[in-house]
Amino acid sequence: MVQSPTRLQILACVWGLVLVLSLIWLHLVALPDISAEGVDKGKDPALPPAREAVEPQAEEILTGHPEPEDELGEDSAETAAPTVPASTESLRKDVEVNSHPLRLRCRPEPTVKNKALQDNTLRPSLQELEADVVVESEVPRTLPGVETRHLHGRLGHFHNGSCCRIHPVPVSKDPKEKLNSYKGYGFHSAVSEARSVDRVQHDFRPSRCKSIAYPCTLPTASVIISFHNEHMVTLVRSLHSVLNHAPAELLQEIIVVDDASALDKVRYTVRDFERLQGELEDYCKALPKVKLVRLKRRRGTMGARMQGAWRATGDVLVFLDSHIEATPGWLEPLLAHVKEDRTSLAMPSTFPITADKLDFAPSNSLAPMSFTWTLGQHGFTRPKTYLTADSPIVAGGHIAVDRAFFLHLGGYDTNMSTYGGEDIETGFKTWMCGGSIKHVACSMIGHIFRSGAVWSGQAFPVSNEEVIRNKHRAAEVWMDEYVELFKVVSPLPMGEEVGDLTARRDLRRKLNCRSFSWYIENVATDHRMLDLTKPRWEIALMNVMTGGCIDTMGETKADKKIGVYPCHLQPVRKSTQALVMSPETGLIKVLRVPGFCLARQGKKVVLQNCKAQATADSSTHWRWIPSPELSSVGRVASESSCMVASHQMTPKSPFALAMEACSSSNKQFWTWLA
Per DSSP, which regions of 533-616 are E strands? 538-543, 548-551, 563-566, 579-582, 587-590, 596-601, 604-609
Give yes or no for residue 171 having a pLDDT over 80.
yes
Fold held by 126-454: Spore Coat Polysaccharide Biosynthesis Protein SpsA; Chain A (3.90.550)
Residue 264 contacts residue 185 (beta carbons within 8 Å): no
> Rounded to an integer, what distance in angstroms lies between the CA atom of residue 223 and that of residue 229?
19
Query: Among residues 310, 335, 333, 143, which one has the least CA distance to residue 226?
Result: 310
Mean pLDDT in residue range 157-179: 90
Q: Are strands 538-543 and 436-448 parallel, antiparallel or unpaired?
A: unpaired
Percent of the chain with pLDDT over 90: 58
- DSSP assignment letter at 393: B
Q: Dihedrals φ, ψ of 672, to 5°?
A: -95, 135
| Those residues with Cβ within 8 angstroms of residue 442's Cβ, 6 or more apart along the chain or in another chain | 205, 206, 209, 212, 329, 333, 387
The secondary structure of 202-238 as a DSSP string is: ---S-GGGGG--EESS---EEEEEEESS--HHHHHHH
The secondary structure of 427-494 as a DSSP string is: HHHHHHTT-EEEEEEEEEEEEE----SS--S-SS---HHHHHHHHHHHHHHH-GGGHHHHHHHSPPPT
More confident residue, 70 or 528: 528
pLDDT digits (tens, 9 = 90+) for 271-296: 999 999 999 999 999 999 999 999 99
Q: Output the pLDDT for position 578.
A: 92
Give yes or no for residue 49 having a pLDDT over 60.
no
Between the CA of residue 349 and those of 56, 115, 203, 389, what are the distances in Å? 19, 30, 13, 11
- Residue 6 banded pLDDT, cuts 50, 70, 90: low
- 601 bridge partner residues: 604
Q: Is the dihedral of CA 639, 645, 650, 653 positive or negative?
A: positive
| Those residues with Cβ within 8 angstroms of residue 669's Cβ, 6 or more apart along the chain or in another chain | 488, 489, 543, 544, 545, 627, 633, 634, 635
Q: What angle do CA 255, 504, 514 make, to 5 degrees?
A: 105
> Rounded to an integer, what distance in angstroms lies between the CA atom of residue 433 and that of residue 504?
12
Residue 443 contacts residue 348 (beta carbons within 8 Å): yes
- Residue 493 banded pLDDT, cuts 50, 70, 90: confident
- Residue 12 banded pLDDT, cuts 50, 70, 90: low
Give yes or no for residue 153 having a pLDDT over 60.
yes
Give yes or no for residue 103 having a pLDDT over 60.
no
Q: Are strands 436-448 and 324-326 parallel, antiparallel or unpaired?
A: antiparallel
> Rounded to an integer, what distance in angstroms lies between the CA atom of residue 85 and that of residue 267?
46
Q: Output the pLDDT for position 561.
A: 95
H or E element: which one contains 308? helix 300-311
pLDDT digits (tens, 9 = 90+) for 181-229: 998 899 999 999 999 999 999 999 999 999 999 999 999 999 999 999 9
H or E element: which one contains 264? none
Chain centre to alpha carbon of residue 358: 18
Ranking 144-148, 437-441, 620-624 by mean pLDDT, the lowest is: 620-624
- DSSP assignment letter at 533: S
Q: Output the pLDDT for position 104.
A: 52
- DSSP assignment letter at 68: G
Please, is 534 exposed, middle or buried when counting C-beta atoms within 10 Å of its C-beta (0-12, 13-18, 19+)? exposed
> Rounded to an integer, what distance in angstroms lies between the CA atom of residue 629 and that of residue 490?
12
Mean pLDDT in residue range 502-518: 97
pLDDT digits (tens, 9 = 90+) for 555-573: 999 999 999 998 887 667 7
Which 3 state secondary structure label does DSSP give 596? Answer: strand
Q: Output the pLDDT for position 29.
A: 42
Distance between first and last Cα of the chain: 101
H or E element: which one contains 96? helix 89-98
Give yes or no for residue 499 having a pLDDT over 50.
yes
Between the CA of residue 208 and those of 205, 385, 387, what are the distances in Å? 8, 10, 9
What is the residue-averaged pLDDT of the chain?
Answer: 84
Which 3 state secondary structure label does DSSP give 556? Answer: coil
Show me where the domains of the chain are located: 126-454, 540-673
> Rounded to an integer, what distance in angstroms lies between the CA atom of residue 560 and that of residue 551?
12
Please, is 601 exposed, middle or buried when counting C-beta atoms within 10 Å of its C-beta (0-12, 13-18, 19+)? middle
Q: Output the pLDDT for position 130.
A: 84
Mean pLDDT in residue range 331-336: 97
- DSSP assignment letter at 147: B
Give yes or no for residue 327 having a pLDDT over 90.
yes
Residue 642 contacts residue 550 (beta carbons within 8 Å): no
Mean pLDDT in residue range 500-506: 96
Q: Output the pLDDT for position 618.
A: 77
Q: Output the pLDDT for position 311.
A: 96
> Rounded to an integer, what distance in angstroms lies between the CA atom of residue 636 and that of residue 308?
49
CATH number of 540-673: 2.80.10.50
